[in-house]
A and B are shown apart, each in its own frame.
Chain A
Amino acid sequence: MPALLTSSAVTDEQRRQNDRHRHAIVIATLALLCLYMYLFTSLADFIGAPQPQELAEYLRFTSPHIFDRDQNVGTQLGVHYAPVFEYTDDSLLVLLLVVAIAFLCAYYLPLRYKQGSLALLTLIAIGIMYGSRAAAALLLAHLLVYLVFHPDRRQGLWISALAGIAGYWALLAGSAAPGKQVLFALALPLLAMGVYRYSISPLLLNERVAAVLRTLVIHAAVLTICLNLVIDVIGGSGILVPLGVMLFFFQWARLVMYHIDYQDELVPKTLSLDRYLAVFLSPGVLPTWAWAVTIPQGYAYINNRFLCEDKNRIVLAGLKLLGIALLYLVFWLWAVRHLEQVLTGFGLEINQMSIRTMIHRYTLGEEFETLSVLLTTLLDLVETILVFAGVVHFKVAVWRICGYNIEPYLSKPWLATNLMNLWTRYAYYYREFLVRAFYYPVFFRLSRLHASIRIIVASLAAAGLGNLIMHLLKQNMQHGMYAHNVSYVLSTWPYFLLLGLGIGVSMIFMRRRKRQRKPWTLDRWFAVDLLAAYITIQYFALIHIFARPTQESSLADMFVLFMLGLGIDLQ
């Protein structure tokens, strides 16, 4: 939070002063990206070099947990649901090439073209990986948002014409005879201009109507999912959402942040289209994009962080994070399997470090001890953190090498000594999204109530309700807009309740306790820090039992395992 609030506006003049070239930085960045290409994609095949696995064996380092069948490093990093490429390594190669080109554009182009070029490159990359129609649909959706948020009579006409062209390409191209195609291609932009000029533009003059329209376009994903659920419940066939629109829906959290910034008057009314698109279309959103979609935030934070200091320092910070991400991405599975071997070697039951495996085995009639439940949940979280760290550090690094001085998403969660701090360290931007979108509105609305009640209710609104809504949307967008996907997420409600309560209680506890020392100071309280850190992360791991239901498990099964973790045997 502090870093998000401190980001004051940066002028273009300040940015120009920060925009000085150092070619050594460029060479280092490109070299590191080439290393990524070599390790994670089929680059070695293309250039006739030895495969990463061959090289590792030559260096006498062999592990079955690092390399996959094509002899390069297997990774969670990639482009989700890219239908154009059968082979995920190819889409990753395209992604890394786009990142390299984006870096060069952000580094060398004149200031006025930097952010626009990043948006254009991202759109081109989406076109390559998802098809031009998906890119057109995504562009169309954003143009509609832009037109509603930033109405301008003259410029709006041209942008609506562009929206008409994008709409034609996304929805109608190739669907009719060539003669009709030409007719559609000419008619749709004209129709879009007419609708904007004589319908939308006059409506936007009425501030109340404009506010409703803004809310509708921002929450289009929520509305579509609700509509599809109603249709699913009454037995109809739902609305098929084009892929590009689905990509737009996945930016719901960022759209909400943009809306909040707009309401807080942090977004200029006359924002140019390229600066608007740069918030949503930047190479940093592409890698494994369904994860951590809140990196970084809405308009204010992103804009204020662009070239806010010497760009070489920002890129260097990005390189550091790229290096850390590389270690996680290459060695996470190797580390996990070795840890598993060591612990099972001691005769400990850790259920393959998987909560789902433990629940499955419990439903088959196996019994467990408290130690086994605690270890399994903790190790499941450790594995999640190791996988997650590689991907989110890479995503933040891409934003940084493109000139955005943004904070890491994940910051040593094992150092958290209370649940609130753990949440910040584990999911920085996501927490900030929930705080601004859910916590603050509830907290400030309850100004007449006692402080502790306000904190508990606001924590439940953010970590409980807001978090649940986000998971509902994600589940429906990833696995289809069906009622069974909603009921699946709703069945995990104890997780959200326990997280919200835990955070609220830890906030109240921290309020009452005078902060006389910083955690992890080397004094006689150090052991208390260690204990607090363990209890915090173990509680967070334990409540994940409710977040990992299996097909055959019931709430009662998960409750028994949770209580067993607390030392109460109900088996």
Chain B
Amino acid sequence: MNRIEIVESLKSFLRQEFPNQGVELTETTDLLGEWFVDSLGIIETVLYLEKTFGMDIRRADINGDNFRNLATLSDFIVNRLEQTSTG
């Protein structure tokens, strides 16, 4: 799966799980400030990432750098998948 497909997959998931009529979901939408309702949102997303991308997510991965917006989250997934395939 390339980065564009990952972004689209995440968009579809976020729109379905966290319908938020007030904000348009773009790559730079502040997910932590405007999209997720609470920490359940983070847990829900972690479960989705684990299931969809087969990723092993660690506690330290849950931070503002990775989860800030769709762009950072996609970069995180791409990097982690690359690490997994090369490692």
Interface residues of A (CB under 8 A from B): 1-3, 5-8, 263-266, 420-421, 424, 435, 440-441, 443-444, 447, 451, 455, 507, 510-511, 514-516
Contacts and interface: CB of A to CB of B under 8 A. Distances in A.
B40 A507 contact: yes
Nearest to B35: A2
Interface in B31-67: 32-33, 36-44, 46-47, 50, 56-60, 62-65, 67
Contacts of B42: 1, 5
Nearest to B50: A447
B38 A420 contact: yes
A266 B60 CA distance: 10
Contacts of B65: 8
B60 A451 contact: no
B43 A455 contact: yes
Nearest to A442: B59
Label chain B's interface by main secondary structure: helix
B13 interface: no
A510 B11 CA distance: 20
Contacts of B38: 1-2, 420-421, 424
Given A440-B59, A440-B62, A515-B17, A2 B33 contact: yes
A8 B44 CA distance: 22
Nearest to A516: B19
Interface size class of B (residues with CB under 8 A): 20 to 34
Contact of A435 (B36, B39, B63): B39
A515 B60 contact: no
Contacts, number: 66
Given A424-B38, A444-B59, A507-B40, A5 B32 contact: yes
Nearest to B65: A8
Interface of B: 16-19, 30, 32-33, 36-44, 46-47, 50, 56-60, 62-65, 67-68
A444 B58 contact: yes
A515 B18 contact: yes
Max count, chain A CB within 10 A of own CB: residue among B36, B44, B59: B59
A470 to B, nearest CB: 18
B44 A511 contact: yes
A8 to B, nearest CB: 5
A264 B60 contact: yes
Given A5-B63, A447-B56, A515 B19 contact: yes
A2 B19 contact: no
Contacts of B39: 1-2, 424, 435
B57 to A, nearest CB: 7
Given A5-B67, A447-B56, A515-B17, 15 more contacts: A1-B38, A2-B33, A2-B36, A3-B32, A5-B42, A8-B64, A8-B65, A420-B40, A440-B59, A441-B59, A443-B46, A447-B57, A451-B47, A455-B43, A514-B19
Nearest to A506: B40
A516 B16 CA distance: 9
Given A2-B38, A420-B40, A264 B57 contact: no
A441 B62 CA distance: 11
A440 B39 CA distance: 10
Contact of A5 (B16, B37, B47, B64): B64
A127 to B, nearest CB: 37
Contacts of B59: 264, 440-441, 444
A444 B37 CA distance: 21
Contacts of B57: 444, 447
Nearest to B36: A2
Contact of B33 (A6, A455, A507, A516): A6
A511 B40 contact: yes
A3 B32 CA distance: 7
26 contacts: A1-B38, A2-B32, A2-B33, A2-B41, A3-B32, A5-B62, A5-B64, A5-B67, A6-B32, A7-B64, A264-B63, A266-B63, A420-B38, A424-B39, A435-B39, A440-B59, A443-B43, A444-B57, A444-B58, A444-B59, A447-B56, A451-B47, A455-B43, A514-B16, A514-B17, A515-B18
